[in-house]
Chains A and B, each alone.
Chain A
Amino acid sequence: EAQVTQNPRYLITVTGKKLTVTCSQNMNHEYMSWYRQDPGLGLRQIYYSMNVEVTDKGDVPEGYKVSRKEKRNFPLILESPSPNQTSLYFCASSLRGVNTEAFFGQGTRLTVV
Chain B
Amino acid sequence: AQSVAQPEDQVNVAEGNPLTVKCTYSVSGNPYLFWYVQYPNRGLQFLLKYITGDNLVKGSYGFEAEFNKSQTSFHLKKPSALVSDSALYFCAVRDTRSSNYQLIWGAGTKLIIKP
Interface residues of A (CB under 8 A from B): 4, 31, 40-45, 48, 50, 56, 58, 90, 92, 94, 96-107
List residues of chain B with CB within 8 A of the CB of A41: 107
In the complex, B84 has a CB within 8 A of chain A: no
Question: Which residue of chain A has the shortest Cβ distance to B108 in the bound complex?
Answer: A42
Interface residues of B (CB under 8 A from A): 4, 9, 32, 34, 36, 41-46, 49, 51, 90, 92, 94-96, 98, 100-103, 105-108
Roughly how many angstroms separate A43 CA and B36 CA in the complex, as a whole number?
12
Instruction: From the candidates B51, B98, B102, B108, name the one contacting A45 in the complex (CB within 8 A).
Output: B102
Roughly how many angstroms separate A97 CA and B101 CA in the complex, as a whole number?
6
- Contact across chains for A106 and B90 when beta carbons are under 8 A apart: no
A113: min CB distance to chain B, Å: 21
- Contact across chains for B105 and A101 when beta carbons are under 8 A apart: no
List residues of chain A with CB within 8 A of the CB of B100: 48, 50, 56
Instruction: From the candidates A42, A103, A107, name the one contacting B46 in the complex (CB within 8 A).
Output: A103
- Contact across chains for A107 and B42 when beta carbons are under 8 A apart: yes
Beyond the given pairs A58-B102, A96-B101, A97-B101, 6 more chain A to chain B contacts, judged by CB atoms under 8 angstroms and listed by A's residue number, are A42-B107, A43-B105, A50-B100, A90-B43, A105-B43, A107-B42
List residues of chain B with CB within 8 A of the CB of A42: 4, 90, 105-108
A92: min CB distance to chain B, Å: 8
- Contact across chains for B107 and A98 when beta carbons are under 8 A apart: no
Instruction: From the candidates B43, B46, B49, B90, name the one contacting A99 in the complex (CB within 8 A).
Output: B49
A46: min CB distance to chain B, Å: 12
Roughly how many angstroms separate A61 CA and B96 CA in the complex, as a whole number?
24
- If A98-B32, A99-B51 touch, whether A40 touches B107 (CB-CB below 8 Å) is yes
List residues of chain A with CB within 8 A of the CB of B94: 98-99
- Contact across chains for A101 and B49 when beta carbons are under 8 A apart: yes
List residues of chain B with CB within 8 A of the CB of A48: 100-102
Roughly how many angstroms separate A92 CA and B4 CA in the complex, as a whole number?
19
